[in-house]
Chain A
Amino acid sequence: MTLPLRIKAPLIFFPALLLSWECAVWLAGAAKIMPYPSGVALAAIRDIADGTLIDAIAGSLRRVITGFAVAALLGVPLGLLMGLVEPVRRALDPIVDSLRAIAPIAWIPLALLWLGIRGNAALFIVAYAAFFPFVLNTIQAVRLIDRKLVDAARALGASPLLVLRAVVVPGAVPTVMTGARIAMAFAWGSIIAAEMAIGIKVNPGGAATVGLGQLMVSTLYVKRDINGLVLYMLSIGLVSLAIDHGVRAFQRKATPWQR
Chain B
Amino acid sequence: MRVMRPIARLAEFALALGILVILWHLLSVRVANATLLPSPLAVALAWVELLRTDLPADIAASLVHLGVGYGAGAALGLALAILCARSAVADAIVDPAMELLRPIGAIAWIPIAIVFFGIGRGVPMFLIFYASAFPIFVNTLAGVREVDRNLIAAARMLGASPRLVVTHVVLPAAMPLVLAGARLSLGVAWAAMVAAELTGADAGLGWRIFWYQEFFAMDKVMAVILTIGVFGYLLDLALRRLQAALTRWSADTRAEAA
B12 is an interface residue with CB less than 8 A from chain A: yes
CA distance A104 to B110 in the complex (A): 16
Given A102-B228, A220-B111, A238 and B199 contact (CB-CB distance below 8 Å) = no
> How far, in Å, is A183 (CB) from chain B's closest CB?
14
CA distance A220 to B107 in the complex (A): 14
Let me know if A241 and B103 touch, CB within 8 A. yes
Given A102-B229, A106-B228, A6 and B92 contact (CB-CB distance below 8 Å) = yes
Let me know if A9 and B193 touch, CB within 8 A. no
> How far, in Å, is B202 (CB) from chain A's closest CB?
13
Contact bitstring B81-115, A, C-beta under 8 A = 1, else 0: 00000001101110011001101110111111011
How many contacts A-B (CB < 8 Å)? Answer: 158
Interface size range of chain B in the complex: 35 or more
Contact bitstring B203-229, A, C-beta under 8 A = 1, else 0: 001100110110000100110111011
CA distance A6 to B229 in the complex (A): 43
B193 proximity list for chain A (CB < 8 A): 103
CA distance A240 to B106 in the complex (A): 12
Let me know if B109 and A233 touch, CB within 8 A. yes
Let me know if A217 and B105 touch, CB within 8 A. no
A256 is an interface residue with CB less than 8 A from chain B: no
Of B14-22, B70-78, B139-147, the one contacting chain A is: B14-22
B198 is an interface residue with CB less than 8 A from chain A: yes
CA distance A114 to B111 in the complex (A): 27
CA distance A14 to B98 in the complex (A): 13
Let me know if B233 and A91 touch, CB within 8 A. no
Majority secondary structure of chain A interface residues (helix, strand, loop or mixed): helix
B190 is an interface residue with CB less than 8 A from chain A: yes
Let me know if A216 and B209 touch, CB within 8 A. no
B13 is an interface residue with CB less than 8 A from chain A: yes
B52 is an interface residue with CB less than 8 A from chain A: no
Contact bitstring B229-251, A, C-beta under 8 A = 1, else 0: 11111001000000000000000
Contact bitstring A218-259, B, C-beta under 8 A = 1, else 0: 011000001001101110111011001000000000000000
CA distance A99 to B236 in the complex (A): 13
B35 proximity list for chain A (CB < 8 A): 113
CA distance A109 to B225 in the complex (A): 10
CA distance A238 to B102 in the complex (A): 10
Residue in chain A with minimal CB distance to B13: A94
Given A101-B230, A101-B236, A220-B111, A197 and B104 contact (CB-CB distance below 8 Å) = no
Question: A residues bordering B, Cβ < 8 Å?
Answer: 5-10, 13-14, 35, 87, 90-95, 97-110, 112-114, 188-190, 192-193, 196-197, 200-201, 216-217, 219-220, 226, 229-230, 232-234, 236-238, 240-241, 244
